[in-house]
Structure 1
Amino acid sequence: MRIGIVNDLPLAIEALRRVLAQAPQHQVAWTAADGVEAVEMALRDRPDIILMDLVMPRMNGVEATRRIMAEAPCAILVVTSDIESNAAQVFAAMGKGALDAVDTPLLHGAPMAGKHPLLTKIEAVGRLIDAGSSAPAPKGIERGATSQLIAIGASAGGPAALAAILKALPAGFPAGIVIVQHVDARFAEGLARWLDDQCALSVRLAQEGDRVRPGEVLVAGTDDHLVFKSPERLGYSREPSDHTYRPSIDVFFRSAGQFWPGALTGLLLTGMGADGARGLKELRDKGHLTIAQDKASSAVYGMPKAALQLDAAREVLPLEQIARRLTDLPGLRLSTKGLSE
């Protein structure tokens, strides 16, 4: 793959060059010293992946990500020093379309510190770029009519989209919400805390054996797949072990369709690739309501587009209308005070 490097530190650029040199399938397309140069280079010569630093002069990585995704969209991987300390900026960049984040490798060490995590992330992004195949969905099964579940899948651009939806839902929202967001397990807890600060609902990481409860938001918290293991209990599974996406939205949607006994709404948001499209199609075939985010409001129109190609979404909505649609579902109509118009 052709890779662009954006970093204002020569030592960091050299470290990234050395790592990429150890993987002959990758080549450096260009380097940029700040966000302004990155936007110019992306417009002139769009690479397969951009390795984007966050803290830079003239234009930081968050704004550069926003500009590139709007003007010359391509896969962006945040590569910066001490990502845990910069978690807020990492989430901001992901909200603008970045796919993931990893620490900048260091020049010292044998092997060079950070080499393997970076190459692993690049390979994962490469699989996201290539993914998009579809397969027939199985026929439907019976379901009951107990409590309601909102099952949400998101990837690139997801944190900001999730925050926009959750902050527009009123306290006491009478459905349980479970989210699978493509994010490294290291960031999952920070993402849950950040979302919790954005809304009136309680947001936390899903734990093994958790029940879905009204008014509570559970977020997938490991690199294993979050699944329903029974009609009442969530848990984590390593299988399928060879799945491109970990955690997988398809795997989660499929388990929800298999086990959840009540009303279920599947929601697929912004993201690169096709994860969630087949699972959403299975939910629709079983009679559940399925919604995809529209192109105009998606930071990356990959997963929703794949869902539309499979006829998986009964409704296609802009981000600003999704929360209101959820509160209008049968059994969920309640005061909408505080919802944005």
Structure 2
Amino acid sequence: MASAPGVGIVADAVLQRHRLQSAAGKFGVEVSFSGDPERLLGYPGFPEACLWLVTLRDESDHSQLFDHLLENTEAPVLFGVDQAPAPGGIDYSRWERRLLGKLEQQLGQLEQLDSASDIEELADMDRSVEAPLELSSWITPAAADSPAREVWVLGASLGGPAAVKTFLDNLPAGLPVGFVYAQHIDSHFTQVLTRILGRHAHYQLKAAEEGTVICNGDVVLMPVEQEWSFTSDGKLTRTGRPWPGPYGPSIDQVLLNVAEHYQDHCHAVIFSGMGNDGAIAAPMINSHGSRIWVQESSSCGNSSMPESVAATGCAGFSGTPEQLAGELVRTIENHCLLRNRQQRDSA
């Protein structure tokens, strides 16, 4: 939110106040007041707020609060905000998502996105890498036009383009893997992103097209405007409906759609971004064998999204974009070593 004052929070449970304040911060909303009803009633003057969130265990115990609010503020007041469940589970992520919906109904879009100028600046990023990764002799270079057996979803929002570019620039050519890139972005900037990101990388961005089969070396950018899924034979197809949730593409839905076709050969890296997109689907697909990795917080432009996914307990690795690239190469190498050993033992 661009201007003060922030939202006011009134709750008679300390944990509820803490969770409301934490969730508001995750969505980029400042909090101008947080306290129980007694603190607000005894507050000198009256705190400014653009919106009030009120949640009480028993509203009949605080009849004076309602009159006090209505007499002293013209800002909207949302009574009866749901009690937050314990953090770390899918229910908590869904509670956050419902809260976001209520906030945006009153305040408009909250998530900050990379601008065209932010993306254009990536063209000036130096591609030189201190210790360039090389393709291990154990990994047979994959033909670029061969269908990918392993697909990794790259999910990102604010700060994501720079992180994903660094990740891709650190990968050696020839890895037997394809990528699906789900980036929250203004739809007007997708062509800029496609042109700039990966210009110097071995892995070039391409827009999703009807009937595309993801091949090794592909980085397929999911469109913002509508949901895409896969046919039974693995071809990308439009669904004709908008992405569910507040922003497109929905990283949660991309994860579910890719995993539906690729099963445990679908994995994910969640990069920088606001909010908690991905935190609902990531633990679901992880329970079926998918790897979930996240960008390490201090290297993020905004760490809310990867931290939300990590809080679910499903993240098996956390690192900078460079470290994530290195871990991917090591993981593929170990898989190739194991497969070669199994083939040798069965011969």
| Structure-1-length-normalised TM-score | 0.55
Residue pair 2:295, 2:321 contacting (<8 A) in 1 also? yes
What pairs up with 1:219-230 in 2 under 5 angstroms? Answer: 219-230=221-232
CA contact (8 A) 1:265 1:289 kept: yes
| 1:171 is the counterpart of 2:173 | yes
2:171 is paired with a residue of what secondary structure? coil
Question: How far apart, in 1, do the equivalents of 2:2 and 2:208 lie?
Answer: 37
The change in CA–CA distance for 1:276 and 1:92 in structure 2 (over 3 A counts) is farther
Alignment of 1:123-202 (within 5 A): 147-202=149-204
TM-aligned CA distance change 1:172 to 1:182, over 3 Å? same
List aligned pairs for 1:239-258, cutoff 5 A.
239=241, 242-258=244-260
> Structure 1: where are the runs of 5+ without partners?
5-46, 49-73, 96-145, 335-341
- Name the CA shift for 1:180/1:224 in 2 (closer, same or farther; >3 Å): same
Give the 5 Å matches for 1:269-280: 269-280=271-282
Deviations, residues 88-144 of structure 1 (Å, cap 9, x unaligned): x2315899xxxxxxxxxxxxxxxxxxxxxxxxxxxxxxxxxxxxxxxxxxxxxxxxx
The Cα offsets for residues 139-175 of structure 1, whole Å up to 9 and x where unpaired, read as: xxxxxxx811111100000110010011111222221
Please list, as runs of the form range in 1=range in 2, the aligned pairs for 1:249-328 lying within 5 A after superposition: 249-261=251-263, 263-328=265-330
Matched, 1:90 2:92: no
In structure 2, what is the Cα distance between the partners aligned to 1:317 and 1:187?
Answer: 28
Contact 2:155 2:183 in 1 (8 A): yes
8 Å Cα contact 1:270/1:298 also seen in 2: yes
Change (3 A) 1:230 1:180: farther
- 2:311 and 2:240 mapped to 1: Cα distance? 29
In the alignment of these two chains, the number of paired residues is: 212
Aligned to 1:107: none
Q: Which residue does 1:215 correspond to in 2? A: 217
Segments of structure 2 that go 5 or more residues without pairing to the other structure are 5-49, 52-109, 124-147, 337-347
CA, structure 1 residues 155+94, in 2 after alignment: closer, same or farther (shift >3 Å)? farther
Residue pair 1:278, 1:312 contacting (<8 A) in 2 also: no
CA contact under 8 A between 1:151 and 1:178: conserved in structure 2? yes
The structure with more helix, counted as a fraction of residues = 2
CA drift at 1:245? 1.7
Q: Given the superposition, is the C-alpha separation of residues 2 and 151 from structure 1 closer, same or farther in structure 2, using an over 3 Å criterion?
A: closer
Counterpart of 1:111 in structure 2 is none
TM-fit CA distance, 1:75: 5.9
Instruction: Quote the Cα distance in structure 2 between the aligned partners of 1:242 and 1:264.
Output: 20
2:156–2:272 Cα contact (<8 Å) kept: yes
The structural deviation recorded for 1:288 is 1.1
Conservation of the 8 A alpha-carbon contact between 2:151 and 2:266: yes
Encode CA deviations 1:285-317: one digit per residue, 9 max, x unaligned: 111111011111111011111112212312222
- Native 8 Å contact 2:150 2:262 kept in 1: no
Q: Tell me, in whole angstroms, the C-alpha distance in 2 between the residues paired with 1:242 and 1:177.
A: 22
| 1:196-217 deviations in Å (ceiling 9; x for gaps) | 3131223211112211100111
Distance 1:332 1:92 in 2: 37
Greater Cα shift, 269-278 or 315-324: 315-324
Q: Indicate conservation of the 8 Å contact 2:243/2:253, yes or no.
A: no
SS of residue in 1 equivalent to 2:249 = coil
Task: Tell me how far apart the structure 2 counterparts of residues 77 and 180 of structure 1 sit (CA, whole Å).
Answer: 13
Check 1:202–1:77 CA distance in 2 against 1; reply closer, same or farther (3 A cut): closer
**In the TM superposition, what is the alpha-carbon distance from 1:76 to its structure 2 partner?**
4.5
Provide closer, same or farther for how the CA distance between residues 168 and 227 of structure 1 changes in structure 2, counting only shifts above 3 A.
Answer: same
Q: Could you say what secondary structure the match of 1:292 adopts?
A: strand
Q: How many angstroms apart in 2 are the aligned matches of 1:169 and 1:152?
A: 14
Residues of 2 paired with 1:291 and 1:173: CA distance? Answer: 18
